[in-house]
């Protein structure tokens, strides 16, 4: 007999875990193959190499604890939205690692998996936050994204003196901040955060795949891939789908118990 809920965790380099509660289905379908497609740097973006221009300006003014923030999963149809925050020590800015970073979307899964533990080990501090699919449905994706980012910032120790954020603004966080589009392609600490957020979320979606195998979460990570849309059409949505998102809104729930 399956439990009604399960806490999953993505392991961090320091041994701690990012925990996430999911509701378990009563019936499991057949396994869906895990398919990955190799992805290398987008040739159109090879000129967009993140640099320390923003951090250097802040460091020069005595602001040493600068956190980069980014999210993963904002546009997915299922699973949480995950945010990461990374603080790089200015004394480690000359490490070759930082020159290898790119926006996580421009890296293959293998590249991201290799870089994530190096980022965690080299960073002054880092943290991850998440908002569940249920929370997204309750408050909306914009507010849920801010909530995940705020949780990531709250997890940093020491607390940062300045935030560099990809696109989003956090008016409820009383820390000076700078936000711009494509910050993950321009700013090293934001690129680092984008990689950690993506790797953490991918690990959570791979774990979810074990309990909802009919959807193939391990392959598409909850995004609207053709195979995912076909599974939704065939089976309906599960409790880890975002029921406020099209095309799920208004469809039946595969795992909702009959009254």
Report the chain's mean pLDDT, rounded to a whole number.
Answer: 84
Break the chain into its structural domains and give their ranges. Answer: 5-235
CATH superfamily of 5-235: Ribonuclease H-like superfamily/Ribonuclease H (3.30.420.10)
Q: What b/e string do you get for 43-52 counting C-beta neighbours within 10 Å, with b at 16 or more?
A: eeeeebebeb
> CA 142 to CA 131: how far, in whole Å?
11
Q: What pLDDT is recorded for position 238?
A: 97
Beta bridge mates, 214: none
Q: Which among 3, 68, 8, 29 is positioned nearest to 201, based on CA atoms?
A: 8
Q: What pLDDT is recorded for position 48?
A: 82
The residue written with tokens 């998102």 in the block is 245
**Does the structure show a pLDDT above 50 at 257?**
no
Query: In a 3-state reduction of DSSP, which class is residue 46?
Result: coil
**Does the structure show a pLDDT above 60 at 232?**
yes
Tens-digit pLDDT profile for residues 94-129:
999 999 999 999 999 999 999 999 999 999 999 999
Query: In a 3-state reduction of DSSP, which class is residue 51?
Result: strand
């Amino acid at each position: 007999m399956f439990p009604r809920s399960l806490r999953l965790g993505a392991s961090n380099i320091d041994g701690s875990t990012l925990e996430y509660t999911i509701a378990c289905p009563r019936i499991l379908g057949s396994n869906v193959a895990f398919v990955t497609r190799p992805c290398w740097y987008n040739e159109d973006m090879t000129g967009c190499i993140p640099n320390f221009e923003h951090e250097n300006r802040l460091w020069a003014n005595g602001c040493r604890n600068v956190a980069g923030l980014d999210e993963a999963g904002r546009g997915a149809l299922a699973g949480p939205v995950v945010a990461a925050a990374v603080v790089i020590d200015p004394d480690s800015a000359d490490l070759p690692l930082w020159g290898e970073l790119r926006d996580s979307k421009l890296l293959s899964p293998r590249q991201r998996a290799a870089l994530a533990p190096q980022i965690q080990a080299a960073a002054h501090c880092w943290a991850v936050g998440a908002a569940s699919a249920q929370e997204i449905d309750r408050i909306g994706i914009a507010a849920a994204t801010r909530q995940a980012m705020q949780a990531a910032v709250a997890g940093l120790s020491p607390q940062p003196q300045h935030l560099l954020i990809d696109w989003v603004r956090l008016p409820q966080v009383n820390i000076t901040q700078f936000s711009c589009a494509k910050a993950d392609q321009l700013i090293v600490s934001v690129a680092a955060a984008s990689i950690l957020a993506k790797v953490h979320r991918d690990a959570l979606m791979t774990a979810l795949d074990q309990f909802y195998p009919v959807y193939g979460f391990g392959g598409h990570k909850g995004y609207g891939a053709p195979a995912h849309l076909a599974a939704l059409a065939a089976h309906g949505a599960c409790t880890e789908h975002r029921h406020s998102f099209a095309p799920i809104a208004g469809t039946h729930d595969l795992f909702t118990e009959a009254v």
